[in-house]
Structure 1
Amino acid sequence: MTTSLSGGCQCGAVRYRVTGTPETPHLCHCRMCQKASGNYFLPLAWAPGDMLTISRGAPSWFHSSDPIRRGFCSTCGTPLFYDPISEEGVAFTLGSLDDPAALPPAANDGEASRVPFFQALCDLPSDEIGQDDLSPVITATNHQHPDRDIENWQVKR
């Protein structure tokens, strides 16, 4: 199945497009991915070769180890890419897709570092603590890039 997916960072300074069929959509639970995302796991998929192109801006890079660099937006901090520099291709974060539901994870990786309560996360009660007070202000002052390509987007800093 050939696809065309677009995505980018929260502020819109960095945008990308994936054309083709991404491989191995998964949740990585390794400690480096936890730290890189500030989360319990990092959803990723592999874009082989030149399947992924940057359509706006340029990511900044951090070498989390000698063979791996991680791409992120230097303006808003959004984690975007996992790049094994000796391989042809790059992994991208599934949460940075304009439609994250378009590519669901199909596997888990790095399970030795998986948090012990991972299986119970979906059973937690849902609560919007404090959101009722903040929602109108957040909505009225939203600086987040919309989930679609926009030609003349102005990044709000």
Structure 2
Amino acid sequence: MDIHTGGCLCGGVRYKATGPLRSVIACHCTQCRKTSGHHTAMTSVPRANLVFESDETLVWFKSSDLARRGFCGRCGGNLFWEPTGEDRVSIAAGTLDGATGLTIERNIYTEDAGDYYDLPEL
């Protein structure tokens, strides 16, 4: 079974995700840009496959009726996006420890992309 670990910059949030990770989706929506400072790159797992080894600084913010976002309340690390009513949680790919072999599968909400960068051809 695949085991992937990760966490935030300060170590206040540490997690373990088991099973295969989905290909990365790069989201350019306004909310992702506002929470990350750029686009986000997220993979995902079934919610039951995500276990917190340390969540003392994990804060959840309901960013809309459709989802909530998890971040570290100490270092500000943008870690998770969890859609309401679904059994999956998205994990910021940059928070995973080590190489994953994942690639960006597609870009979404490109109409909201910042005007300061060009979208790569996928």
TMscore range, shorter length: 0.7 to 0.9
Q: Equivalents in 1 of 2:116, 2:99: separation in Å?
A: 23
Q: Equivalents in 1 of 2:99, 2:49: separation in Å?
A: 18
The residue type paired with residue 3 of structure 2 is S
SS in structure 2 of the partner of residue 36 of structure 1: helix
Relative to the length of structure 2, the TM-score reads: 0.87
User: Could you list the per-position Cα deviations for residues 87-111 of structure 1 after superposition, in whole angstroms to 9, with x for gaps in the alignment?
Assistant: 1121010111112554222211111
Structure 1 runs of 4+ aligned residues shifted over 6 Å read none
Q: How does 1:90-129 map to 2 (within 5 A)?
A: 90-99=89-98, 102-119=101-118
CA RMSD of aligned residues (A): 1.9
- In structure 2, the CA distance between the partners of 1:12 and 1:102, relative to structure 1 (3 Å rule), is farther
Higher alpha-carbon Rg: 1
Q: Is this contact kept in 2: 1:11–1:75, CA < 8 A?
A: yes
More strand by share: 2
More helix by share: 1
Q: Which residues of structure 1 form unaligned runs of 5+?
A: 122-157
Q: Name whichever of 107-116 and 12-21 sits farther off.
A: 107-116
- CA shift, 1:46, in A, is 1.5
Relative to the length of structure 1, the TM-score reads: 0.69
- Establish whether residue 51 from structure 1 lines up as the match of residue 32 from structure 2: no
Aligned residues: 119
- In structure 2, the CA distance between the partners of 1:67 and 1:120, relative to structure 1 (3 Å rule), is closer
Q: Is this contact kept in 1: 2:26–2:107, CA < 8 A?
A: yes
Q: Equivalents in 2 of 1:48, 1:118: separation in Å?
A: 32
- CA shift, 1:10, in A, is 0.3
Q: Equivalents in 1 of 2:42, 2:37: separation in Å?
A: 14
- CA shift, 1:3, in A, is 2.3
User: Could you list the per-position Cα deviations for residues 73-128 of structure 1 after superposition, in whole angstroms to 9, with x for gaps in the alignment?
Assistant: 1111100000112111210101111125542222111111122443379xxxxxxx
Q: Which residues of structure 2 form unaligned runs of 5+?
A: none
Q: Is this contact kept in 2: 1:22–1:48, CA < 8 A?
A: no
Q: Is this contact kept in 2: 1:25–1:104, CA < 8 A?
A: yes
